[in-house]
Amino acid sequence: MKLVQERRTEINGHPIIAFTLANDHGMEITCLNYGCMITSILVPDKNGNYENVVLAFDEFSSYLTNRPYLGTVIGRVAGRIKNSCFELNRKKYKLYENENKNHLHGGKKGFHHVIWQAAGFSKKEEVGVRFLHRSVDGEEGYPGNVDVQVTYTLNNQNELIISYHAISDQDTPLTLTNHTYFNLSGNAQRDILQHELKIKSDRFLPLDHEFIPTGEIKDVAGTPFDLRQGKTLKEVINSTDPQICFVGHGYDHPFVLNAHYEEEIVLFDPKSGRTLVVETDEPGVVVYTGNHLPNGEKMNGVLSRKYLGICLETQALPDAVHHPHFPSCILRAGEVYSSTTKYAFRVSYE
């Protein structure tokens, strides 16, 4: 196992450090203390070519805006909160409105724009980085001082394990996720439309016109959201289902997972043979097929475009503060928030 850290640049005098993790088989992950951002995951294809399977801007300056939230940890609350408000313990809270009147992905300065404290670690069979951040009471309108720890661990099974822990001194909503865009073709040679996606999910959440769950929990049977046997993403985007069409011809939807740690999410690229198996203890996953990726921004040596990457944002269900029948996203004062998602990279030689 190998760990290398280097000062990449600085923001307002704060050093931006890049950590490169390598296991004993050649897999490498590079991440930054800025936004806990993953900028590279090098894994082999069926011919043993190690290539980057995540989207990353070519210029660091692009991350200062980062409208697509490339590679970053999202918080305090991933997804949208309708009308940027919620009530908790009979008190009303107003959050920063950063998407029309709604609150998206933690607001104006969400966790994706935080410079985290970061420290690398290396053991015989694993190497990683631990990120720490204190989100202070009132940040973006949220209550409570929340101490958040995010750990990226790479092992010798070609697995990246992301674990999240947090504790707050007041009750507060908290839904953390990672917003990495995957493209298993390697170095974004192709878009994701030939990728196959399989998800063990019987139900999904339809969205309203603001891309916020309506509250309905709908059976996937007979819909383009039935991924239990797998579909190519090209098949999905060509669907005429209104839910597929109005979000930009693709997914931008939460799926309710049937299982945990049973290979519940599998993304496969037949041409490269690369397979990504995602397992999580979270109740759901937001699948976003990059329908609104900006055109023409320099990423992975190419110009970004629609469908260049897919996000598999394992998390609590979005806007849960307004839907008591969804699993709760409230972290009670003094309780420990704990969540783990594993990204296992494999090669299929079929």
Nearest Cα to 210, choosing from 80, 69, 77, 66? 80
Residue nearer to ligand G6D on the CB measure, 127 or 150: 150
Concatenating the DSSP letter of every residue in 205-254 gives --B-TTS-B-S--EE-TTSTT--SS-EEHHHHHT---HHHHHTTSS-EEE
Residue nearer to ligand G6D on the CB measure, 252 or 297: 252
# of chain residues touching ligand G6D (CB under 6 A): 6
**Strands 330-331 and 85-88, how do they pair?**
unpaired
Binding flag, residue 69, ligand G6D (CB under 6 A) = yes
CA–CA separation, 248 vs 274, rounded Å? 27
Token output for 308: 């260049």
The answer to whether 152 and 159 are in contact (CB under 8 A) is: no
Positions in 28-47 near ligand G6D (CB under 6 A):
none
Shortest distance (Å) from residue 22 CB to ligand G6D: 29
Positions in 260-299 near ligand G6D (CB under 6 A):
288, 292
CA–CA separation, 322 vs 71, rounded Å? 28
Residue in 179, 195, 253, 323 annotated catalytic = 179
Is 252 among the annotated ligand-binding positions?
Answer: yes
Is 307 among the annotated ligand-binding positions?
Answer: no
Residue nearer to ligand G6D on the CB measure, 182 or 288: 288
Residue nearer to ligand G6D on the CB measure, 179 or 323: 179
Shortest distance (Å) from residue 258 CB to ligand G6D: 22
Nearest Cα to 57, choosing from 273, 292, 219, 298? 298
Residue nearer to ligand G6D on the CB measure, 203 or 292: 292
Shortest distance (Å) from residue 254 CB to ligand G6D: 10
Q: State yes or no: is 179 an active-site residue.
A: yes
Cα pseudo-dihedral 123, 126, 127, 131, rounded to 10: -100
The DSSP bridge partners found for residue 346 are: 275
Shortest distance (Å) from residue 313 CB to ligand G6D: 7
Give the DSSP letter of residue 213: B
Question: Of the candidates 140, 252, 264, 269, which one interacts with ligand G6D according to CB under 6 A?
Answer: 252
Residues 6+ apart with CB under 8 A from 236: 197, 224, 244, 250, 251, 289
Shortest distance (Å) from residue 110 CB to ligand G6D: 11
Positions in 136-175 near ligand G6D (CB under 6 A):
none
**Strands 159-168 and 146-155, how do they pair?**
antiparallel
Q: Which positions are annotated as active-site residues?
A: 179, 313
Binding-site residues from annotation for beta-D-galactose = 179-181, 252
Binding-site residues from annotation = 179-181, 252
Sites of contact with ligand G6D (CB under 6 A): 68-69, 211, 252, 288, 292
